[in-house]
Structure 1
Amino acid sequence: MSAPNVLSTTQNSLATEFAANYSATVDQSDATATHTPASKQKYLLLSAHDFRSPRKAGMHFVASELAKLGTTRFFSLRYSFLSRYKHDPRLSLDDQANKIVFYQGVECYLWKTLIHPIRIRPFESLMYHLYGYGFNSVLRDWIRDSDVIILESGVAPIFFDLIKKLNPKAKVLYRASDALDTIDAATYISKTFDRIAKDIDTIVLPSKALAEKIPSTHNLAFVPQGIDHSVNEKANPSPYGEGIHAVSVGSMLFDPDFFVLASRRFPHIHFHIIGSCQPRHHEYGDNVTVYGEMPFDKTLPYIKHATLGIAPYSSVNLPAYLRDTSLKLTQYEFFGLPAICPHFIAADYPTRFGYDIGNEESIALAISRALNPQAPLPKRTVLDWSQVTERMLAPKKFSDTEVFA
């Protein structure tokens, strides 16, 4: 028997076993959802996020907007018994796994399997190949019943072939929240995306810098990061007392040394660290307060009423697109906060003040400049999520979605 036939036989055998295991985990006992009229579009989002998670990403807000337009379903991928060892933020939803739950206008499903594909050779590609069969009755039913299917960068692209098999008329969008090499996606995912990119209806880029990573040009649309404009009214009252307050939100490449240096240099500034996923550093000054993971809405007053916003990335080896896609930097800009961040991320944004990582004098200069800017900070218009969603669904209706204009 030839090698390809051996692999094919192995795949078919394992596929049968995986199907039995995966199907055994499905529980639809809570499948009670309110549906919108049949005349409206039906939307399906495939993502490694979960719509119910307290930490929000762009796909959460897009899903909320889609729910206003028609039946919207959010299917959460790549979650298993292995996830407990990865500190997966969806662990708090474990008791709701493999159930359809209607939450804030969206049908949600967290697909928990016995194992999920992981980066382990020589079985990595085989695991992703089998996972891409989508051995889950809810996933298959939702694919068949959808008019528009949105894939988020990560594992979701491997389901493209299944989508085309079950529902070839569905419109497929891909939202490039990150470049696949930046998030160290498996080779199988990258190769799959390279193969299918030209056949996707629209590839949505939140930064034009992502275009160089996409092996297609005819179907690209630039749709920047958005924000819910109503947060301005929701972000009250101020949680602070008198004085100067600087806030940092999020855990991506968090650099605790920034606050060791800054708190020592600026004892009159109160630094607030929210959701860094790191314990309090023993060298932090008394003017540093560390908070745990906080629901998105709870962070808003801390941002709106701060004097400075901080994005303390710990590495210079960051993709250029992060300048445009960082949700916290978008929030800082919306609320009019000067942002302190490494030079590479500050780039030519007039509202950002850059520093050299680990350099106390450079950090001190950035903070001083932000507190006393030479000119009033310009106000940039940030799209709201309804405008983002409109551009994703019909980019050709808008002149500002051109990537190569």
Structure 2
Amino acid sequence: MTFSRSSMDFHANPLTAQPAIAPDAYRAHAREWLKNNLPAHMRADTLDYRSPTLAESSQWEAAMYRAGLAGMTWPVEYGGHGLTLREHLAVNKEIGALAMPESVSSIGKELAGPIIMTVGTEAQKKTFLPAILQMQNYWCQGFSEPDAGSDLVRLRTRATQEGDQWRINGQKIWTSGAAKAHYCLLLTRTGTVADKHRGLLMFAVPMDTPGIRVVPIRSIDNKESFAEVFFDDVIVPDSARLGAPDEGWNAAIRVLSIERATNRMYRPWRFECELRQLVQACQSDAQLAGRLTESYYQRRIGQLVCEIDGLKGLVEQSVDQLLAGAAIGARGSLTKLYWSNATRHSWHWRRKSSHRSGRPQARWRGVPASIFALPTCSRMPRLSTRARPKCNWTSSPSALCNCQRISDHESPGRKFAPRRVCRSGCRCGR
């Protein structure tokens, strides 16, 4: 099977009419198209790399969609290409191998789109889904609140029905991309906090609706990627509602579990590309090249390689499970944990070599701020213990457990008792 070379301006996808395309053939098409069309300043393995502007990213992602490299699993009637997760994974491997910039429309493609396809009306699907793929609108995610971060059952933003419309009051925080978003995927509460997961309701709220106020948050990297969003007597029609009043919780949890396991599948292959660049940069420096032969650095590199391989396996297993109609379960949380650890370890290695290697570092400037939002060994493993073998809690390292006992330590006037902690990678889940 052969594919013709595509340009940045073509509008037809020659692969859409071929429903039984082998993933390897689709991957070869993606590799060839990206090789011929990816701008040099978006290639992380070149010295010309720089962070693309919003307009450049939008133009590039729209071109990828026209080439059949975005919206692959979405239904054809809603602007997608009607393919399977296997083709989606095949393309993501090539995207990761080039370490391309993150999508500026990830909330729309990875959260809003799947939720609308799950609980949205036919009119909502035809209105929103094609526009998301064609980069005609951007979305932000209105989930987290000052007193309810990852704990969605503590949401307080309230939606009150008034005839055929809803009045919304509340506050969201850490909302990524709120300043540029056209719509907010807003999770609200129709009952009281005591109802917990019952009575949660989602809306697709236009960000230019009167009563919405966006206050940017400046992060440690001097960027304003996050924002607080205030809703003061915001009136939206009932047509903005996504699903029934009690469907908000189920829709959010279902989509978040799939998002953790299958979205941004390119991550392990991207980490692999970055690790390869890092090793090559170290080899080009006399001092760093000598350190690569030391056992400490070899263990560190080996640890990162194992994390990348583990993340690859989790992604591919999740695809197999979804195609078989099985639930992902805690595998989504494990994928998130492996990704978080790999991100943190990759950045620390990049930081150590950046002052010597001369490699492009613009893409990594935001990582120091973002790693504080990543789950750590003390939190995330509690969510995923059912998906991996357990071992007995122990006070010393063993072949089955990496838990270790911290010795007594003293401070003036006070003595702390010994305590047990779990090192990263332990399988006990403590």
When normalised by structure 1's length, the TM-score is: 0.26
Specify which structure has the higher proportion of helix. 2
When normalised by structure 2's length, the TM-score is: 0.25
